Structure 1
Amino acid sequence: MTVLTCASTGQLITLLGERIADSGEGKVWRTNRNGYLAKIYHDQTPERVQKLAVMIAHRPKEPNSHLNHISFAWPKSVLKDAQGNCVGFLMPEIKEGKELIDIYNPKRRKDLKLEVDWRFLHTTALNIASIIEAIHISGYVLGDIKPQNILVNDRALPSIIDTDSFQVRNPVNGKIYRCPVGSPDYTPPELIDKDFSSIDQTEVHDRFRLAVIIYQLLFGGESPFAGKWTCTGDTPETNELIRRGLWLYAPNRLVQPVERTIPLEIIHPEVQRCFLRCFNDGYKNSNLRPTAGDWVKALRLAVNELTICGKLDSHYYSRTYGKCYWCDRSTKLDIDIFPKKQTSYKDKDADAYNNRGLSRYILGDTKGAINDYNQALRINPNHADAYNNRGLARSTLGDKQGAINDYNQALHIDPNFTQAYINLLIIRYKMIALILIGLIAASSLSLIIFANNLNSATNSKLDKDYVNRCSDHVSLKNYSEAINDCNEAVKINPNNDEAYFLRCSAHFHLKDYSEAIDDCNGAVKINPNNDKAYFVRGVSHIMNGNKPQGIEDLRKAISLGNEAAKEILKDVQ
């Protein structure tokens, strides 16, 4: 059993069971930290340590935080061995995601019995573009965009993994840590046969890779460079076609569509233009390739123009095209990559409205989403997922009581619906935040007295400074700074339970509930009567999906006189 130390918190991290992934760089393990994995490198280098430090200090903004989703498995903290050497890092675990190829490849979808339609694929493409846009805004270049590095859940929400391979630029001194790897068939023409370890890439290179991924999603998993070779000799390899700019709709038409090729004209005109800009204009001038933001705008329009087929509910087509291409293709080729869904008539209609509502919500059409959820519930009044999704939409519009009613109804139908419990707690999030700030303010005097009574006069002064400043940071919502000060306070005095509590409060506000739980554990170990720590630990357990443990901690907080815990317990029960 391997035990490591989390550099940011000092907590012990144990590697569990067998490794779950292995690559040329390292191995990935489960850990004793719920919701976190560890990547342990085969060989560590000083440059890799520096690169991780920059990534940990400068995390991109999470574009899907409002959906309680993790969009990228970003390094959380460096992991050190007993000698203090950096051996890897801690990162969030992406649960219940399928590899992108399982989503866009019709045969693999069929083998896995995934009911995916064209709207789902459009929405997935939109969300991938949105995530990559957020990464680019923060100054990162993905470098190695490929299907194996993108996982997708059943809400069409992607998560990007293997983020430590990104090209990283230190915003302080400008130093660039390159992406040393790339994947055939996704490399832009100007980089083919180049040594990635010696090249500073830009987001312009990522634009080409993103376009290939989006094409595969929308066109049955096919490459834009796959078709009939019309010249003499054997068909060149894909990389050679890319190098020469020979795709299906290139001006020279040396590669042409075949009978099974899904034509470009069936998609929204703005999406068509993006492909033409990338592979035609962008071949001559790479700066003309559409950005991730351009794709987001085009795909938003495309999703809004999709309509359901009158014959098959699994078929969607663009209103700009005017008819169901998939029905025509099925008749002509006897191939249907979006076959009839295997659900009851009642359920399939309710699911269709529920899924469309989720797509509308993701696109920002919250009122339209609620209308779809209403229709789903008229068809199937026992659709727990529709109640949960409508609750989320109502909460977004400020109808907190309506949201609570919907979550309660979802739980009435399915008492094991964990997501509904989590959403119900999120409704209370602002109240909890205010309670925490109030508890911190009320504790300020006791913190000063506590710090002044430490044995060492020097340490007392330092501890007082760090703890008081940490309290101020939490009150001002400067949570990262608060964590740094608490780290210093704990180093000076490992028995300061209030420092642990303040740090757990900061982690809670950052929605890092596992870290909050660890700090609460430290607080109650030092002071078993710290009601505030039991309170926050209880709520954190529930947000992490561990309702029984959460209820137990809330009851303990109540027994110690914590009134705020009573209100939360009413909702949970």
Structure 2
Amino acid sequence: MESINNANGNVESAENYLNKGNVLLDQKDYEAAILAYDKALDLNSNLAEAYFKRGFAKSEIGQYFEAISDCDAVIRLDPNHATAHYNRALLKSRLGHPKAAISDYDAAIRLNPDDASAYNNRGSAKNDIGQHFEAISDCDAAIRLNPNHANAYNNRGVSKSKLGHPKVAILDYDAAIRLNPNHTNAHYNRGIAKEKLGLTDDAKRDFQSALNLAEKMGDEELKSQIMKKLENLETG
């Protein structure tokens, strides 16, 4: 009886640490949340939710490899956890492995076929490996599921532009910007499409809009990229 009581006590303590971690996660105190989830898992290594939430917290502080390991643990415990597959795909994409990400998006969509973001992000990953026709199909699916999905319009525009159709790509960028006027990438990508069509002044305006938004975001890498585009147009 004593061992059973101790085991039950451990499970309760694990749940307490899990709940504490969840509160800290909501407060965006990610490092403290991770410590709480560590303690929960020390006491009960079968808590899929603790692995899942810890993985999210790790991803928020840039610990992508460690976050993937936590997603692995969730999927071992619950192979049908669609969001764990989805999150692992996002992490793989961030680490520059779009092909590996696609396999996880496949699983996420199989488990949750109404997830517009999974289709959109799989489309983005397919763009990254040159599968632009397939990317368009995924973006189409995302837009059918969520007609207000600005990122899906932007990604579909990228696909069309890569396939040599900047004019029709602009229509998708227009839609993305209409849905989200602060969509930095859509302004930037529309500028690229207009540049391809020889619409230099219009392209400059889009690049300037993108630059203003990038400055507000504090995205130095994107700012540098856009400034080079503007300089090239000025000197060209």
TM-score, normalisation: structure 1: 0.22
RCO higher in 1 or 2 (8 Å CA, sep ≥ 6)?
A: 2
Task: From the CA coordinates, give the structure whose radius of gyration is larger.
Answer: 1
Structure with the larger helix share: 2
